[in-house]
Amino acid sequence: MNSKKYNMWLQYQPITDTKMIEQYQYFFTKIGVLSEGLQVQAALDELHAAVPQMLDAKFTVSNDALNSTIVIGNRNDLARFLDSEQQAKLADMNDEAFLIASNQEQLIIAGNSDVAVLYGVHHLLRLVQLNEDIAQLSVVEQPKNQFRMLNQWDNFDGSIERGYSGQSIFYQHNQFVEDKTRIKDYARFLSSVGINAISINNVNVWEEETYFITKKYLPEIQEIAGIFRVYGITLYLSINFGSPVTIGDLDTADPLDQSVQNWWKEKAKEIYDYIPDFGGFVVKADSENRPGPFTYERDHADGSNMLAKALEPFQGKVIWRCFVYNHLQDWRDRTTDRARAAYDHFKPLDGRFHENVILQVKNGPMDFQVREPASPLIGAMPNTNQMIEFQVAQEYTGQQIDLCYLIPQWKEILAFDTHIKGTGTTIEEIVAGNIHPYKYSGVAAVSNIGDDENWTGNTLAQANLYGYGRLIWNPSLLSEQIAEEWIKQTFGSKEEVLNTIEDMLLNAWGIYENYTAPLGVGWMVTPGVHYGPNIDGYEYSKWGTYHFADRDGIGVDRTKETGTGYTEQYQEPHRTIYNDLDQVPDELLLFFHHVPYKYTLKSGKTVIQHIYDAHFKGYEQVEGLIEQWENLRNYVDNERFANVQDRLERQLDNAKEWRDQINTYFYRKSGIGDQHGRTIY
């Protein structure tokens, strides 16, 4: 398949700039390849795919580096082409670092490893797609984060939990797909933005998927691991903690039971016999009805360490998710608080986890909401490896129907200064492993792809997948820069297209927030579905609502004095800022405080007027998005234009439903009218 929809940002569109064509055609004439690894071959294959399309030209390949216009290989094989300064720079960097250096006659791509060479080639091809001058390059890059991971929430029946882009590309009807071409292309896309790890099945491991770690399915998984290996991506599997009972012959999964420990050790050996570079396990335990160590009166350290010991001889890792809370708690009891759960469960266990255990912490304390504070657990365990978890799939942010460019949200979270070790202790530096002595750390995210031809349902949602990879490789990149890169590679460099789509993307998060849940209160979505408004909807409905709205006010009291005490989980100054009604930011007011409807925000508006204004504005802004997109009708191919147009029209329906339901609900609850006299039904 070779369509504009399918190729995402690897369009490799023909270069039309006459000056650039001459330069590019000169360099892409003779390519010298001095290394023979799998990833170097993948880099060469990518050049064969890209160059004829972009330049309408072919190149020769040889090991005659001296007479080549481009030379690629790992640092050791290219030593004679690098000066002492270049050698020193690379030697001082990690295994994934690469160097690109050029003069008027020759261009060198050297990597500290074979996969680094692949990253370097992708970087060069990106520069060409962006019409950049490559005649005098001096680029040295390494990824900021060690783990750059995607979690697939794919089920063996072909469905995807929180999947909004069709069915799984891995499974159909309880079988692995026979044609794995699409898996290979997915690996290409991921390697082009530096993703280096993937788990290929849902964290909620259902009955048949439990057998993925057995010889029944390991040959197929071995083949998939081989596909990803070529592109420098390590494969992980989500596992069922209760596997010794479910698929074994044991009557217990107690992590302190010797027979259970032995079972997992044998299981690890079996997996590594098939996949010697298997990454390890992703585990969701004791959360939302998943089995875990609590069943046996053990804790998360006991459970994860048992698995860690089994994987340790093979350098495997246990990625243990911290999304653990009592989903049957009585939310009407205001002394309970789901936001507290991860910190309360895991903070006391700091220092007890094995060095090959990594705790995966959601970016916020709740669940990928459009607005919530950064999780106080991130960085709060100096003696325990951690990685942060984002969600590229827009579960609570429009489900790839509504446009919501998430890079600005993620940058805001990464820039959050926890003050755990004083000023400058940002989440960005924590997960990069620069604050605590973590052996392993990084970033994971829930993927947003499926078997829709365009991969992401909404073509514009591709920007989130692209942006996720680019951001976690280099968090200093601006949201605007990432958007521009993606637009140019995906739609071309026409100024009208670039300016319009960039404006749409950069405003999208704020627009979505305007017409959905206000001021950080979160949720208000249809339970189970998580799309569309249901103001009193609670996932486990008999326990009330998340927003505590009554006739007098709205919001959750999380203060130390009168609320759940959640604010105490933060370091100063955030502890005081969030606890203090006068200091808490408006956008998080209702997350931390219950206030009257006539409470005046720092903006000068009352809470109730803000709710009215934001929801009217959000709807109007979506109308504006539709108008902006319509202006591109003659600049974007018909298929992609129609796809986005359809999504925007559906977004407008959603925004109207949110606007009318939210405004009506709070008008009736508060009895306070809109000061502008607009009709509220």
Q: 452: domain CATH number?
A: 3.20.20.80
Q: What is the pLDDT of residue 36?
A: 94
Q: Which domain holds residue 46?
A: 18-141
pLDDT for 518-547, tens place per residue? Answer: 999 999 999 999 999 999 987 764 556 789
Residues 256 and 290 in one domain: yes
Q: Output 331 or 406, whichever has higher pLDDT.
A: 406
The total domain count for the chain is 3
pLDDT for 464-515, tens place per residue? Answer: 999 999 999 999 999 999 999 999 999 999 999 999 999 999 999 999 999 9
Query: In what helix (H) or strand (E) does residue 390 lie, and over which residues does it extend?
Result: strand 386-391
Query: Which residue among 337, 367, 452, 484 is the active-site one?
Result: 367
Q: Token pair for residue 612?
A: 């009215």
Query: Which residue among 220, 389, 395, 428 is the active-site one?
Result: 395
Q: Of 94, 111, 141, which residue constitutes the final position of a domain?
A: 141
Residues 342 and 394 in one domain: yes
Q: Residues 326, 332, 337, 339: is their CA dihedral positive or negative? A: positive
Catalytic annotation present for 630 = no
pLDDT for 28-72, tens place per residue? Answer: 999 999 999 999 999 999 999 999 999 999 999 999 999 999 999
pLDDT for 614-660, tens place per residue? Answer: 999 999 999 999 999 999 999 999 999 999 999 999 999 999 999 99
Residues 261 and 122 in one domain: no
The span from the CA of 267 to the CA of 241, in Å, is 13
Task: Provide the mean pLDDT of the chain.
Answer: 96
* SS3 at position 232: coil
The span from the CA of 317 to the CA of 308, in Å, is 7
pLDDT for 324-348, tens place per residue? Answer: 876 555 555 656 798 999 999 999 9
Contact 609, 674 (CB under 8 A): yes
What is the DSSP annotation of 277-311? T--EEEE--SSTT---GGGGT--HHHHHHHHHHHH
Q: Of 141, 171, 201, which residue constitutes the final position of a domain?
A: 141
The span from the CA of 322 to the CA of 309, in Å, is 20
Q: What is the pLDDT of residue 335?
A: 63
Residues 307 and 343 in one domain: yes
The distance of Cα 340 from the centroid of its chain, to the nearest Å, equals 23
Q: What is the pLDDT of residue 541?
A: 45
The span from the CA of 403 to the CA of 54, in Å, is 30
- Asked, for residue 314, whether it belongs to a domain, the answer is yes
The span from the CA of 154 to the CA of 426, in Å, is 32
Residues of the chain with pLDDT > 70, as a percent, come to 98
Catalytic annotation present for 350 = no
Q: Which residues, at least 6 apart from 612, have a Cβ–Cβ distance to it below 8 Å? A: 663, 666, 667, 674, 676, 678, 680
Residues 413 and 288 in one domain: yes
Catalytic annotation present for 367 = yes
pLDDT for 422-440, tens place per residue? Answer: 999 999 999 999 999 999 9
Residues 159 and 130 in one domain: no
Query: Which residue among 157, 223, 288, 568 is the active-site one?
Result: 288
Q: Of 141, 168, 183, which residue constitutes the final position of a domain?
A: 141
| Residue among 240, 238, 236 nearest 280 (CA) | 236
- Asked, for residue 484, whether it belongs to a domain, the answer is no
Residue count of the chain, please give it.
Answer: 681
Residues 132 and 152 in one domain: no
Q: Quick check: 577 pLDDT over 80?
A: yes
HEC letters along 57-107? CCCEEECCHHHCCEEEEECCCCHHHCCHHHHHHHHCCCCCCEEEEECCCCE
pLDDT for 84-110, tens place per residue? Answer: 999 999 999 999 999 999 998 999 999
Q: What is the pLDDT of residue 60?
A: 97
Phi, psi of 265 (to 5 degrees): -65, -45
